[in-house]
Structure 1
Amino acid sequence: MEKFAMFVQKLRYAILTVVLVLTLFFGYFIKDLKVNADVLGYLPKDDVAANLFNDIGKDYGGNETVIIGLECKDVFTAPMLNKVKEMTDSVRAVKGIGYVTSLTNIIDIKTTEYGLEIGRLVDEYEIPEEKEALEALRAYALSKDMYRDNLVSEDSKATLIVAKILNGSEREEVVKAIREKLSSVPFEGKVYYGGMPVTLGELSKVIVHDVMMVAPIAFLLISLCLFLGFRNARGVILPMLSVLIAIVWTMGLIGLLGYSITLMTNVIPVVLIAVGSAYAIHVVNRINEEIKTDPDKAIIRAMTYVTIPVILASLTTIFGFLSFIAGSYLTMIQEFGIFAAIGIFFSLLLAVSFVPAVISVFRIDSKKVQEKQKGNKLLDRFTSLIENFVFKSQRSILLAWALIIALCVYGITQIERRVDLVDYFKKDNIVQQSEGLLRSKFNGSMPLYMHVKGDIQSPEVLNAMKAAQDFMESYEFIPYSQSVADLVAQMNEAMGEEKAIPDSKEKVQQLWLMIEGQEIMEQLVNYDLDEAVIMGQVNSSDLEVLNEIEASFSKYVKENSTDNCRMEFTGIPLMLKRLDNSIVKSQFYSLILAIILVVLLVSALQKSIVKGLLAIIPVLVTLVALFGFMGLTGVPLDIATVLSGSVTIGIGIDYAIHFISCFGDEYQRSQDIRESIRSAIKISGRAILINVVSVTAGFAVLMFSDLVPLQRFGSLLAVTMLMS
Structure 2
Amino acid sequence: MKRLYDSVLNKSGVSIALLLLVIGFFIAQIPHFQLDASSDSLVLEGDNNLHYYQSIKKNYGSDDYLVISYQVKDNLLAPAQINHLANFRRDLQAIDQVKSVTTILDVPLFQSPPLSLIDLAAKDISIDNGNADLVLANEEFKSSPLYADNLVSKDGKTSAILVALKGNKTFENRRQKRNTMRVKKANNELSKEALAKLSAIEKQVLKDTTTQNALQDKTIAQIRTTIDKYRDNASLFLGGLPMITTDIIGYISSDLIIFSLAVIGLMTLILAIIFKGIRWVLMPIGISITGALMMTGVLGFLGWKVTIISSNFFSLLLVMTLSVMIHLVVRYRELAQNNPDLAYRTLIQNTLEQMLKPCLFTTLTTIVAFGSLLISGIRPVIDFGWMMSIGVTIALILSFVAFPMIMSFLPKPKIPQFKTELGFTHGLAKFTEKFGNHLLVVLILFIGASAVGINKLSVENRFIDYFKENTEINQGLTLIDKKLGGTIPLEIIFDGLAEDYWYDEDLRADMHKIHQYLNALDETGKVLSIDTLMQILTQANGNQAPNGFLLNVIKTQIPDSAKAYVLDPYLSEDNGQIRMVIRIRETNKNLKRAALIEKIETYISKDIGFQEGSFHTTGMLVLYNNMLQSLFASQIKTIVVVFAMIFLMFLFIFKSFSLSILALIPNILPSIFILGIMGLMNIPLDLMTITISAIAIGIGVDNAIHYIHRFKAEFAKDHDYLATMYRSHNSIGLAMFYTSITVTLGFLILALSNFIPSIYFGVFTAIAMISALLANLTLLPKLILMVKPKI
Note whether the superposition's TM-score is higher than 0.5. Answer: yes
Which residue pairs with 2:256 in the alignment? 211
- Equivalent of 1:265 in 310, 335, 340: 310
Contact 1:644 1:717 in 2 (8 A): yes
Aligned match of 1:180: 225
Supply the distance in 1 between the matched residues of 2:131 and 2:558 (Cα, whole angstroms).
Answer: 28
Distance (whole Å) between structure 2 residues aligned to residue 58 and residue 179 of structure 1: 29
**Does residue 190 in structure 1 map to residue 235 in structure 2?**
yes
Separation (CA, whole Å) in 1 of partners of 2:573 and 2:226: 32
Q: TM-score, length-normalised on structure 1?
A: 0.90
Verify the 8 A CA contact 1:36 1:204 in the aligned structure 2: yes
Provide the C-alpha distance between the structure 2 equivalents of 1:327 and 1:700, rounded to a whole number of angstroms: 26
Provide the residue aligned with 1:249 in structure 2. 294
2:385 maps to 1:385: no
Distance 1:446 1:506, change over 3 A: same
- Residue 511 (str. 1) matches residue 557 (str. 2): yes
| 2:127 paired residue number | 123
1:303 maps to what in 2? 352
Q: How many residues align?
A: 711
Q: 1:324 aligns with which of 352, 361, 373?
A: 373
Return the alpha-carbon distance in structure 1 between the equivalents of residues 381 and 509 of structure 2: 40
- Which residue of 1 is the match for residue 320 of structure 2? 275
The DSSP-based 3-state class of the residue aligned with 1:574 is helix
Amino acid at match of 1:69: S
Kept after mapping to 2: 8 A contact 1:492/1:502:
no
Match of 2:109 in 1: 108
Q: Do the aligned partners of residues 473 and 112 (structure 1) sit closer, same or farther apart at CA in structure 2, a change above 3 Å counting?
A: closer
TM-score by length of 2: 0.82
What does residue 51 of structure 1 align with? 51
Q: Contact 2:420–2:731 at 8 Å: present in 1 too?
A: no
Kindly report which structure 2 residues correspond to 1:628-643, keeping only aligned pairs within 5 A, or say none.
628-643=676-691
Q: Which runs of 5+ in 2 are unaligned?
A: 169-211, 773-791
User: Structure 1, residues 195-214: CA drift from partner, whole Å, max 9, x if none?
Assistant: 11111111111111112211
CA contact (8 A) 1:152 1:160 kept: yes
Alignment of 1:430-449 (within 5 A): 430-449=472-491
1:84 aligns with 2:85: yes
Change (3 A) 1:410 1:668: same
Match of 1:553 among 590, 595, 601: 601
Go from structure 1 to structure 2 and tell me whether the alpha carbon gap of 1:258 and 1:561 turns closer, same or farther (over 3 Å shift).
farther
Give distance in 1, aligned partners of 2:670 and 2:708. 17
- Matches of 1:29 and 1:59, distance apart in 2: 40
The alpha-carbon distance between structure 1 residues 154 and 244, as it changes in their structure 2 partners (threshold 3 A), is: same
**Farther-moved stretch of structure 1 (350-359 vs 646-655):** 350-359
Question: Quick check: 2:108–2:124 contact (8 Å CA) kept in 1?
Answer: yes
Aligned equivalents of 2:154, 2:699: Cα separation in 1: 54
Deviation at 1:86, TM superposition (A): 3.1
Query: What are the residue-to-residue correspondences of 1:159-170 with 2, within 5 Å?
Result: 159-168=159-168, 170=215
Query: Quick one: structure 1 residues 596 and 159, their matched pair in 2 at CA, closer, same or farther if it must change by over 3 Å?
Result: same
The whole-number CA distance in structure 1 between the counterparts of 2:216 and 2:141 is: 32
Q: Is the 8 A contact 1:116 1:495 kept in 2?
A: no
Which amino acid in structure 2 is aligned with residue 70 of structure 1?
Y
How far does residue 612 in structure 1 lie from its aligned partner after superposition? 1.7
**Contact between 2:464 and 2:474, CA under 8 Å: does it hold in 1?**
yes
| Distance in 2 (alpha carbons) for counterparts of 1:2 and 1:613 | 33
CA RMSD in angstroms, aligned pairs only: 3.2
Query: Does the C-alpha gap of structure 1 residues 447 and 461 become closer, same or farther in structure 2, counting only changes over 3 Å?
Result: farther
Paired with 2:290 and 2:503, the residues of 1 have a C-alpha distance of: 62
Partner of 1:572: 620
Mapped to 2, the partners of 1:465 and 1:495 lie a distance apart of 16
Partners of 1:710 and 1:461 lie apart in 2 by: 55
Matches within 5 A, 1:307-386: 307-329=356-378, 331-365=379-413, 368-369=414-415, 371=416, 374=418, 380-386=422-428
Partner of 1:31: 31
CA–CA distance in structure 2, aligned partners of residues 440 and 574 of structure 1: 21
Measure, in 1, the Cα distance between the counterparts of 2:39 and 2:94: 29
What letter matches 1:299 in structure 2?
I
**Does the 8 Å CA contact 1:655/1:688 hold for their aligned counterparts?**
yes
Structure 2: distance between partners of 1:504 and 1:152: 30
CA distance in 1, matches of 2:314, 2:274: 22
Residue in 2 that maps onto 1:712: 760
Q: Structure 1 689/580 Cα, relative in aligned 2: closer, same or farther at 3 Å?
A: same
Structure 1 pair 337/460, CA: closer, same or farther in 2 (3 Å)? farther
2:194 match: none
What is the SS of the residue equivalent to 1:64?
coil
Partner SS for 2:29: helix
- Confirm or deny that 1:480 pairs with 2:526: yes
2:282 corresponds to which of 218, 234, 237? 237
Greater shift, 696-705 or 228-237, is seen at: 228-237
Cα separation, partners in 2 of 1:557 and 1:238, compared to 1, 3 Å? farther
**What secondary structure sits across from 2:120 in the alignment?**
strand
Instruction: Identify the residue that residue 66 of structure 1 maps to in structure 2.
Output: 66
Amino acid across the alignment from 2:151: L
Cα deviation digits, residues 399-447 of structure 1 (max 9, x gap): 4434433443333344343433322211111111112112222320111
Amino acid at match of 1:478: T
Cα 1:573–1:77 change in 2 (3 A) is: same
Do the aligned partners of residues 495 and 504 (structure 1) sit closer, same or farther apart at CA in structure 2, a change above 3 Å counting?
A: closer
Cα contact 2:68–2:239 (8 A) shared by 1: yes
Name the aligned partner's letter for residue 439 of structure 2: I
8 Å CA contact retained: 2:81, 2:233 = no
Q: Match for residue 700 of structure 2?
A: 652
1:674 equivalent in structure 2: 722
> How far apart, in 1, do the equivalents of 2:134 and 2:88 lie?
20
**Residues 1:634 and 1:227: Cα distance change in structure 2 (over 3 Å):** farther
Q: Secondary structure at the match of 1:510?
A: helix
| Segment of structure 1 superposing worse, 294-303 or 529-538 | 529-538
Distance in 2 separating the partners of 1:513 and 1:149: 24
Give the Å deviation of 1:73. Answer: 2.4
Per the TM alignment, residue 600 of structure 1 is displaced from its structure 2 partner at its CA by: 0.9
Secondary structure in 1 matching 2:548? coil
Aligned to 1:405: 447
In the alignment, residue 48 of structure 1 is paired with which amino acid? N
* 520 and 607 in structure 1: CA distance in 2 versus 1, 3 angstrom threshold: same
Aligned to 1:499: 545
Shift of 1:684: 0.2
**1:219 partner letter:** I
**1:228 aligned partner:** 273
Instruction: Name the aligned partner's letter for residue 471 of structure 1.
Output: I
* Counterpart for residue 471 of structure 2: 429
Kindly indicate whether the alpha-carbon contact (under 8 Å) linking 1:462 and 1:501 is maintained by their aligned counterparts in 2.
no
The corresponding residue for 1:535 is 581
In structure 1, the gaps of 5 or more residues are: none
| Corresponding residue for residue 141 of structure 2 | 141
Deviation at 1:383, TM superposition (A): 3.3
Contact 2:141–2:151 under 8 Å retained in 1: no
Structure 1 residue matching 2:63: 3-state secondary structure: helix
Decide which moves more: 531-540 or 252-261.
531-540
Q: Deviations over 1:561-591 (max 9, x none)?
A: 79xx964331122122112212211211111
- Rate the CA distance shift 1:266–1:544 in 2: closer, same or farther, 3 A: closer
| 1:72/1:188 contact within 8 Å kept | yes
Deviations 1:492-518, CA, capped at 9 Å, x for gaps: 763679435735995365235665774
Matched-pair identity in %: 21
- Relative distance call for 1:576 and 1:393 in structure 2 (3 A) is same
8 Å contact 1:469–1:482 — kept in the other structure? Answer: no
